[in-house]
Amino acid sequence: MFTSTEFSSAITSASEQLEKARQMLRAIACPPIEALEINLRDLTQDSIGELLDQVPSGYRKIDKEIDYVYVIRLQPEKQSLVPVLWAQLEAARTLADDYCRLNKENANANALYVGRSKKLKSRLTQHLGTEQRGIYSMHLQRWATSNDAKISICYMKFEKQEDLLVQAIEDGIWSSLKPAFGRKGER
């Protein structure tokens, strides 16, 4: 039986973990931010492959201790397109159940998605392409290619950082940008 004493001990432990994460957040510097761009109309398997050729795969042995946090957003001049994209994804969701969550309260944001992955190339392929059925992602190629708008994909590399710290960074970016799609929280 789980006891109130054990619960109290768990709260103390969680508090210590969060305090440690807070101290680490105050000390961390922004890593280099890599950026890619592509027009939604240009999303083909070939163009996605070419775009992502320069993105780390995450499958090498030395990549085990690396996490990436990424942001997918519309170019600022196309921010007014977000409600259109939101409606298009909402319609697409009636045909398949492997699309990411819609954030109605954020339907006017220029950030489309904030995420985290150890296998960045694979995850971005899921978001941009049509493959990977059954994996929750944006699958932009399925429903967004009728739009003439560039998206940018920015990512940061966190090497040998504690999971709690990287999760806090992702959550902080999510809270700050309030993306139109996806969910906040642990992977």
Phi/psi at 140 (5° precision): -55, -35
- The answer to whether residue 134 scores a pLDDT higher than 80 is no
How would you classify the pairing of strands 66-74 and 111-117? antiparallel
Residue 172 within any structural domain of the chain: yes
In a domain, 4, yes or no: no
Inside any domain, residue 26: no
pLDDT digits (tens, 9 = 90+) for 84-101: 888 898 888 888 878 888
For residue 125, being part of any structural domain is answered with yes
d(CA 43, CA 168): 31
**Mean pLDDT, range 78-85, rounded to an integer:** 84
Chain centroid, CA 87 distance in Å? 20
| Overall number of domains in the chain | 1
Per the domain annotation, does 40 fall within a domain? yes
Task: Name the one residue in this structure whose structure tokens are 């109130």.
Answer: 4
Task: Indicate whether 104 pLDDT > 90.
Answer: no
- pLDDT bin (cut points 50, 70, 90) of residue 32 is very high
Q: Of 135, 104, 109, nearest to 122 (Cα)?
A: 135
Question: Is there a domain that residue 184 lies in?
Answer: no
Q: Which domain holds residue 95?
A: 31-177
